[in-house]
Each structure stands twice: as C-alpha cells, then as structure tokens.
Structure 1
C-alpha cells in the first residue's frame, strides 16, 4: 500500500486508472506482475508477484518514482492543489508477503490470529 504525501486526497478516478497503467509497465520492466490494483483518493493497494531476484526496495522505489513523475507531469494543475515540493509519495510503504497461500486464505488467516490479552 502506498499513501499520498500527507494522506492528501489527490487521486481522481482517471488518475487511478493512469497510475495502474504506469505501475503495470514498471512491473513488466522488473519481470514482475501487477495482479491486482485499486485505490481511493489518498492511497493505492497493489498485489504484485515478483521473482526472488528482484529486490522489493528497488521495485517499490521504481513504482513510486516513475508514477510520481508521470502523475505530476500529466496532472500538474490538479496535483499542485494537494501536494507541493515535488513529492507525490512519502518515503514509507507497507508491504506484506502471502508466501504462496491462496489469496482467498490470507484475510481468513489474519482474522483468525489469537490476539494477546
């Protein structure tokens, strides 16, 4: 999951569609596959399958860097109302691994965790 800088609600539906296309191209360059993409006004969720030879940090850096450059260029007037100083994404991100488990099992696995009292 990537959130916009300061969690600003900068995305429109059109921008999310464009962001998905950009991120699909970046994944292809890394021999990875963007299996699922969706987002809201202030964040995007990606489900990516990448080969073990690909460093996650390099992939994320490219996903965020390339999408930021294109989105800021193509939607400059809109983006400037929400974000400034040349940043679209903050430096952080959330990544999780499902290690081969069927994707339908992952939410169930999380729900069934035993929380300490």
Structure 2
C-alpha cells in the first residue's frame, strides 16, 4: 500500500555486503528493504514506510514530517575548533570575502 501524498525522501543504492539493492528512507533511518532490483527496493521501502505510518497512526504516535515539506531558513550554526576558525578567517580575509561567504562556498562544493 503506497501512501497518498507520499513526500518522503527515498534512496536506492547497491549493498555490496548483501549483494542486493537496498531501499532507504531519510525520515525513517531505521527502515530498509533489500531485493534484487532497484525498482523492487523502491517499492519495498515505500510499502514498509506506509505500513509503519499506519501502525504509528493507530498508536497515536507522531509521524515524521517529510524533509521536502519543511521550510529552511538557510542558516545553521557549525562549531569548529578555534584553530580551524582562525584558519578559515585568514582564508576569507585573503580572498576578500566574509567568513560566511567562504564557508558557504566550501560547503557548496
């Protein structure tokens, strides 16, 4: 059973250890589905997620909000060691940009 308005974030990748494709869901990191084809892995993980959500609803549990439905401000804080902060500040000054602009550029690569 697929979810109506299923906006969850899925990924299918090869599992060398299992010699099968594995379907994963970002919002439900403990769930996975192994099978011989990538299409089957996607179908399988979507069904598992749908079943888990149905069970969660039955039990009155909070359902994770899909990442795709969330609003992002574009701001987050990163803690780094003081020496890293110093090195990045020097790099930014040498490049003639703000530390924020330098960090954003490095994270975008």
The two structures have a TM-score, normalised by structure 1, of: 0.29
Higher RCO, 1 vs 2 (CA within 8 Å, ≥6 residues apart) = 1
Instruction: Report the TM-score when normalising by structure 2.
Output: 0.31
